[in-house]
Chains A and B, each alone.
Chain A
């Protein structure tokens, strides 16, 4: 399996369907596992890292679910290819920076990926479309149970799975969902929401994790702690909180449409105008405008068929994807901005102007049908 074949298709989480798809872009769960009595990758000598890799990689490749998977040492990937995988959330930014002794194994659907010798010996991740954290965990749990028969995991009776960073001990699990929350942002409620989520031991981050600003109205909500609760407890707590956020987002959208319809329509119309006619666009501007168009699709202002195109643009306009598409390793920021703008113009061309007659109430509980 070649990387180019994997990259040619968007992952299941991007093009597929899942519960609460409009607001929950994707659900991700990752588990951290280590070999017992073996130095963690960050402390291991090169030869020790290599040994760990030679133990782990064949075990992962032999998993039933990984038949026909893509498997490669990181040294075989160009910087650009690694960055493409980062932009698809298939490997972490930290993993992309690793060299000899690190590898990645992922299935063709891009729902499962295994990072070998990241911060921990093994980090496995499942990513699914919409809100389905339980499903994502079930996939991983199965793979993990098979792996524990082949690998000698570092496990402590009191502390659970032992990890390089003490903040991950216990379950070694981080579950997160990527949420698209333009309604809460437009109605200035996001800070309030972030504060209350932090208070209950969950974290809210921007598109690319801690310390990144929230671009494109995208937020990641995840568990902060890993010790003292079971995987299922963590996931069900997180899922409940996310369901609350979805409800708040739907209410916020409904209120915006009811009370400030011209503001909403103006923003969507402007976003459409700029995206259709710009000739230079940074990825930040693109994400923010695409987010507004996505809201427009949700509100019925654009045909539903446009949804996939818009969602794909969120990924395709990221720097490495752009460059990969252009088939070049080096590109100036200016050239990228021009290419990004032309890609967006081309993709938006078949999408008709926002049809203001079509606006729908965002919530299913809406009582105002707009059919004549």
Chain B
């Protein structure tokens, strides 16, 4: 977010009387950004916080972290237009890093298991299934 400091005279000249009342979505994302989210979410409402697309249009901000799931369809295009990439390449909270690693491990094992079953390698499949169960049970603890 960027800040703008205006003196009394300039704020009047620029028609700003409420500094928070900018059409920020438009300001930041170019005109039409607020409309973009509409496409994917015509009647959507965030279950966590009750936020709707109309609210986004008004403020250019989302209601809570859950909104990223709720409005994911409309947001993904906007986000990919805005940023260099579409997936996070930076810091990950440590406790999540372990969880994410485990998730990835489980999904690779699952893929290997599916392949083993498909190619009728039942011995390997049984081993993989045991490993998977073990990991999943520790995750549940």
Contact = CB atoms under 8 A, between A and B. Distances in A.
Nearest to B62: A164
B87 A158 contact: yes
Nearest to B22: A211
**Which applies to chain A's interface (DSSP): helix, strand, loop or mixed?**
loop
Interface in B1-15: 1-6
User: Which size bracket describes the interface of B in this complex?
Assistant: 35 or more
Contact of B61 (A43, A97, A157, A210): A43
B84 to A, nearest CB: 4
B40 interface: no
B127 interface: no
Contacts of B59: 42-43
A68 interface: no
Interface in A165-215: 165-171, 173-174, 201, 203, 205, 207-212
A293 interface: no
Contacts, number: 159
A34 to B, nearest CB: 6
A145 B93 CA distance: 7
A111 interface: no
Contact of A225 (B3, B66, B82): B82
Contacts of A229: 84-85, 89-90
Given A208-B3, A208-B5, A227 B61 contact: no
Interface string A235-252: 000000000000000000
A60 to B, nearest CB: 16
B88 A159 contact: yes
Nearest to A162: B65
Contact of A119 (B49, B61, B68): B61
Given A141-B91, A165-B28, A227-B86, A159 B62 contact: no
A167 B28 contact: yes
A314 interface: no
B10 to A, nearest CB: 9
A70 interface: no
A166 B30 CA distance: 13
Contact of B64 (A38, A167, A212, A225): A38
B65 A228 contact: no
B113 interface: no
Given A93-B19, A166-B78, A227 B91 contact: no
A169 B3 contact: no
Most chain A C-beta atoms within 10 Å of own C-beta, residue among B6, B48, B65: B65
Interface in B67-106: 68, 75, 78-79, 82-96, 100, 103
A157 B87 CA distance: 8
Given A97-B19, A159-B88, A227-B84, A205 B1 contact: no
A92 B19 CA distance: 12
A160 B90 contact: yes
B32 to A, nearest CB: 14
Nearest to A31: B91
Contacts of B64: 37-40, 43, 154
A277 interface: no
A252 B87 CA distance: 40
Given A119-B61, A227-B83, A228-B85, A162 B90 contact: no
Contact of B2 (A37, A86, A205): A205
A312 interface: no
A43 B55 contact: yes
Nearest to B2: A210
B20 A97 contact: yes
Contacts of A211: 2, 4
A371 B96 CA distance: 62
19 contacts: A37-B64, A37-B65, A39-B49, A97-B19, A148-B93, A148-B95, A149-B94, A153-B93, A159-B68, A159-B79, A159-B87, A159-B88, A160-B88, A165-B60, A167-B82, A208-B5, A211-B2, A227-B79, A231-B91
Given A37-B64, A170-B90, A228-B85, 9 more contacts: A43-B59, A141-B91, A148-B95, A160-B91, A165-B61, A169-B68, A169-B83, A201-B84, A211-B4
Interface of B: 1-6, 19-20, 24, 28-29, 48-49, 51, 55, 59-66, 68, 75, 78-79, 82-96, 100, 103
